[in-house]
Amino acid sequence: MSSTRLESFLNSSIPYVAYNAARALGDPRIAGFKARLYADGRINGLIDELNDWPGTVLSSHKSARQCFHKLALLADLGLEADHPGMKAVIGKVLRHRDGNGVPLLPMRIGENHGGTGETKGAWALCDAPITLYALITMGVRDEGVMRAVEYLAGRRQCPAWGCVVSEALDSWRGPGKKADPCPYATLIMIKLLLASDPERYAGAITDAAGELLRLWTHSLTEHPYLFYMGNDFRKLKLPFIWYDVLHVVDVLSRIPAIRTSQAFSGMLGIVCGYELPGSGFIPGSVYQEFRDWDFGQKKVPSEWLGLKVALLLARLD
């Protein structure tokens, strides 16, 4: 049933939908699908935007306008490092790194929030893993990238990751207890380790995933770093930018050890429960930055959303 569901997307008029369905199925026509992907004006528009890397001063890690989120979207859409225009973008990303290989972004923390008010090249555990994930997914695995992954993996405060930032940000951290796990940082660190070397980091991945499942089980009483799992968390939303149910389920579905847990089944049930008989999934929430994409509206089913759900169900099969 999973392959039949995926095959239905091969006829999509949306290049990134058809290409990713073909890639998942190993369709022999993959070159033709890839050519359509490479000609998509929206994708090439994002690449043009990323030529301004690292962009303006980081205002909010949740903002869909942030360059690192758009880089990750391109990776999820199937772009590789050889896509026309990506070599220049990737070169800029790799030129802005610290001594540990961790990508830097311009940040400014005001004095009222414990900072100096100066703009600095810095990183936080709610941005660097996303940039590294995007690079690795596109096929960039130089020594500096892999060294950065190992460095960030080592910053875990068992069993998960907390609010960790580069030395340039001094003692600043998000709104929560220092010892608390940060659900979002933990989610994207799991995502990064799965993309880089799932066997090497298997123990850390499984332990951290267990913590996310525990937080879901206790979601009515525990809200570390103000991450709630209420109505907004339970709405289907793309692209994968923040901490929401589809993002969590998509990442955790890649970890065989936790697939049979009651907590995972509960979140998966929420995702599948949104399916409309015979017509797919309509986004429950959107980012206005992507209103011109099929997943940027809430009126009709989104093929990209439907494909993402089909891919995770195929993974579980």
168 pLDDT exceeds 90? no
Beta partners for 280?
276
225 pLDDT exceeds 90? no
Residue 60 pLDDT: 84
Other CB atoms within 10 A of residue 95 CB: 11
Residue 116 pLDDT: 65
Query: Using an 8 Å Cβ cutoff, are 121 and 168 in contact?
Result: yes
Higher pLDDT, 89 or 58: 89
Higher pLDDT, 295 or 2: 295
Residue 114 pLDDT: 57
Give Cα 270 distance to the centre of its chain: 20
pLDDT above 70 as % of the chain: 96
Average pLDDT, whole number, for the chain?
93
Segment 104-125, tens digit of pLDDT:
999 877 666 556 667 889 999 9
> How confident is the model over 170-177, as a mean pLDDT?
72
Which residue type, as a one-letter code, is found at position 305? L
pLDDT above 90 as % of the chain: 81
Beta partners for 58?
107
95 pLDDT exceeds 90? yes
Which residue type, as a one-letter code, is found at position 203? G
Q: How far apart are CA 19 and CA 1, in angstroms?
A: 20
Entry pTM: 0.95
1 pLDDT exceeds 50? no
DSSP 8-class letter at 242: S
Residue 176 pLDDT: 73
DSSP the chain: -HHHHHHGGGG-SSHHHHHHHHHHHT-TTHHHHHHHHHT-HHHHHHHHHHTTTT-SPB--TT-TT-HHHHHHHHHHTT--TTSTTHHHHHHHHHHSB-TTS-B-EEEE--GGGTS-S-EEEE-BTTTHHHHHHHHHHTT---HHHHHHHHHHHTT-BTTB----B-GGGTT---SS-TTS--HHHHHHHHHHHHHH-TTTTHHHHHHHHHHHHHHHHTTTT--GGG---STTTTS--SSS-SS-HHHHHHHHTT-GGGTT-HHHHHHHHHHHTT-BTTTB---SS--GGGTTSTTS-SSS--HHHHHHHHHHHHHH-
Of 74-78, 119-123, 235-239, the range with the lowest mean pLDDT is 119-123
Residue 184 pLDDT: 96
> How confident is the model over 54-76, as a mean pLDDT?
91
CA distances from 11 to 15, 183, 243 (A): 10, 37, 31
Cα torsion 91, 95, 99, 103: sign: negative
Higher pLDDT, 178 or 317: 317
Residue 113 pLDDT: 57
Segment 252-279, tens digit of pLDDT:
999 999 999 999 999 999 999 999 988 8
